[in-house]
Every structure is written in C-alpha cells, then in structure tokens.
Amino acid sequence: MATQPPEKRSTWPLTSSMEHWVEWRAQTISDPVKRLRYLRQAHRYPSPQSAWTRRAGTFFLLLIPALWIVPAHESWVATRKLVLSQESIVSNSLKALEFRSQQESPMPEVWLVERKHGEEVYSNGLRIETGATVRHMRRSYASISLQTGKLRTDGVYPAGIVYHTTESHIAVFEAANNLRLQRVGQWVLQYLTRNRSYHYFVDRFGRVHRAVGEEDSADHAGSSIWADRERVYLGLNHSFLGVALEGQTEPGDGPALFLTGAQIHSTRVLTEMLRSRYKITSGNCITHAQVSVNRSNFRIGNHTDWASNFPFQRIGLPDNYNLPIPGMILYGFGYDQDFVLATGERLRIGLSVSENQVRLAASASGISVASYRAKLREEFRRRLAELPASEDPSVTAATARKTEFVPDFARSFENGPEGREKN
C-alpha cells in the first residue's frame, strides 16, 4: 500500500504545463468520484519547482489576502466571486469538474392555451388546477450581485425553483386504495394552502395544484442559500418558487419508491412552463436539501427532503446534485454525519467539490481552513443583517396572512418577465 504524504505538507500551485497535464489526465477518468479524488491529490503534492519559484509562488499567495480577503474592502466581493467561479485559484480541470452539470438545458417555449374556471391549460400539455389558490405576501426580495457586491432590492420575478416532498402519509399506489389516495391528497392540499407552504403541489395522480399564487411568496424554504453566476440569494421564500411532490424522503441513490410516472411527467411539464415563463436557468432548479441551512450552528441540510434520488434528468434538467453548495463556499457552512447519511453519492460529489474549493481558497489566502471559514461566516452575518425584515424566515412565518381564496393568479403575470434585466 502506498504511503500517504503527511498532512502538514503544503499545497503548491501547479505550473501551467502541469495544470494542462492534470486537466488531460482528469478527463480520462470516467468515474466522477475517482476523478475528484485524483484532482484533490494532484493539488496536495508539492510540485517539483525550484526554490526561487516556490518563494515567488508563496509571495504571490501572500499578496492575495492583502488584496481581497479582508471583508472591510470591496475586493471581498471579488473574492467570493472567484471562489464560486474558480477563476484564479482552482485549476482548469477542477473548473470543468465543477461546471459539468451547469451546461444549460434548452430553455423551453410554453404558453398558456386556455384559462377557464378552476383550470389552466398550457401548450406542452400541462394542466393546473387553480380552484384552491390562496394569496400571501407579495413577492419582493433582495439579492447580492456577484459583480458589484451591492444589495439589490428589485426582485419581483422568481429566480428559480426549489423541489420538496410533503413528508405526508403515503398509501400503496394501487386501485384498491383509490379513495384513500384521493382523500389523503385533498387533506394535504388543504393543509398546504392553509399554511402557504408551497406554490405548487403535485399529488400521486399527477394532478398539479396551484396552492399559492406565483406573484406571492410561500413559506417553503426557510433559512436557505443559493447562488448562480450573477447573484446570491439568502432566504428563498420570496426569490424561488416552491414545488412539492406528495411523498416522503427516502435516503440513497435508488429511485424514490413513492413517485409515480404521472408525478414525474407533471413535474416535467410544470418545470418547463415555469422556466419558460420566468426564464429560469436549469442551474437554479434544485432541491430543498441543497439550499436549506441552520444559521445557529452553520450547517447545511437543516431539511433533508430530496437529499437524494430526485429525478433531475427525467424532468428535463441536468443532474444538479453535482453542483457545489453555495452555503459552504460563500459563507463557511459545514455539515454533519446525519446529513451525509441522508444523501446519496450524487449529492456527495457536490459536497466534496465544495470542501475542496474551500481548502484551496484558504490555502491561496495564506490562512487555515478554520480561519477562512470564520471570515466567511462573519460575512454571512453581515449580509443577513442587510436583508429586509420581510425576508427573514423567522418573521414571515409569524406574519402569515389570513387565507383568501382566489380562483386565478394575477393576469399581469401571465406572460412573465418580458425583457427582464439580467444582473
């Protein structure tokens, strides 16, 4: 058995020629877990450089904290962007590994065909039952620009979709249970509308119910973090739509046993419609387990619904479990063993990529991982304090409005954000 190098050995930047070789070698490894292990090992061993080159590299690394690691400077914003996009620290091979799932799936074109009492019909076959729709707080949210670091308060249209499970009672899906399945689905819908839990609910029969109007927020995400290549979103109740599939969380990578073919089909056409209406990128269609955080202990995975086996590809999306976790990379969140047990191998790849990015960024900044995470957490607290009170999940849950039934959501939202400015 080969002897592992001692942990105290430094991580040196790869030379250009070595970087190209590492990238080529990584591309020949088909297994993603083995590829990640190889990339991490490649960055762990010292490169065979001269003493002068090592001193020059060390000097360069020591300059980085002075230029952009201190939160008091505006360059801290650039630091977070670089950590997320890996433009300066991580090798090209690791960049390819990170963004391999961010190849955008084609933006679908779906339009409203007909709206009649209690139902909407769309061009891709989607049918939405609207009779139980309730109103909630009007959507208005803040986000952080990765270009400027400034807080923007102009959010009106949904930026993404968070998928949930209802964690409700599940009956065996068979004809003998038909009435029971219908009753359970109706009870769940009543509960969700009463609590403004999600925007959409997909029952076991594949029926799509609009529970909360799209122009309003829903209390579906709680304390949560996500980021795309342009913005950071803290607290997704306002900024993301919540779609719940009737079912219960099941750990592991096997298919979710409660899911029916009708649910998968309906979730696919619903996702197509929402992406088309609001120009939502595929990378912003993620599960609750990927965005949920516990602010008190700085751990991700406070909720574990869809921590594994969400059928991304069957609903027309890339396997977004491979995406890095913004809460870990941008704000120093960690995770515990309970969360690992709830995930499958697919999501663990995203966790490993995120851990590796944090280690590399800490090394490039010339500080320990613990110190680097502490600085990220300090930045998170500062950013959280800037948010309007209406976007704090602890506030919105306590100020839910009285149920007001509306048959259809505002017609002004029918065509979505035409010409929406990209930031």
Helices 51-68, 75-85: inter-axial angle, 10-degree rounding: 120
Q: What is the pLDDT of residue 373?
A: 94
Per-residue pLDDT of 183-205, as tens digits, reads: 999 999 999 999 999 999 999 99
Give the DSSP letter of residue 134.
B
If residue 35 lies in a helix (H) or strand (E), which one and from where to where?
helix 32-44
Question: Rounded to whole angstroms, how far apart are CA atoms 353 and 252?
Answer: 19
Concatenated DSSP letters of 311-353: -TGGGT---GGGS--HHHHHH--B--HHHHHHS-HHHHHHHHH
Residue carrying the six token digits 């955080």: 293
Q: What is the pLDDT of residue 387?
A: 86
Question: Rounded to whole angstroms, how far apart are CA atoms 127 and 110?
Answer: 12
Burial 308-347 (b: 16+ CB within 10 A, else e): bbbbbeebbbbbbbbbbbbbbbbbbbbbeeebeebbbebb
- pTM, rounded to two decimals: 0.73
Q: The domain 106-322+398-409: what is its CATH number? A: 3.40.80.10
Vertex 82 angle, CA 81 and 86, to 5°: 125
Q: Which amino acid is at 262?
A: A
Per-residue pLDDT of 344-370, as tens digits, reads: 888 998 999 899 989 998 888 889 999
Q: What is the pLDDT of residue 112?
A: 98
The residues spanned by each domain of the chain are 106-322+398-409
Q: What is the pLDDT of residue 103?
A: 61
Mean pLDDT for each consecutive 10-residue tract of the chain (423 residues)? Answer: 42 43 57 62 47 46 40 40 38 34 77 95 98 95 90 94 94 95 96 97 98 97 94 96 94 83 98 97 96 96 94 95 93 93 89 91 90 94 84 45 32 37 37
Helix (H, G, I), strand (E, B) or coil at 119: strand
Q: What is the pLDDT of residue 34?
A: 65
Give the DSSP letter of residue 58.
H
Q: What is the pLDDT of residue 102?
A: 52
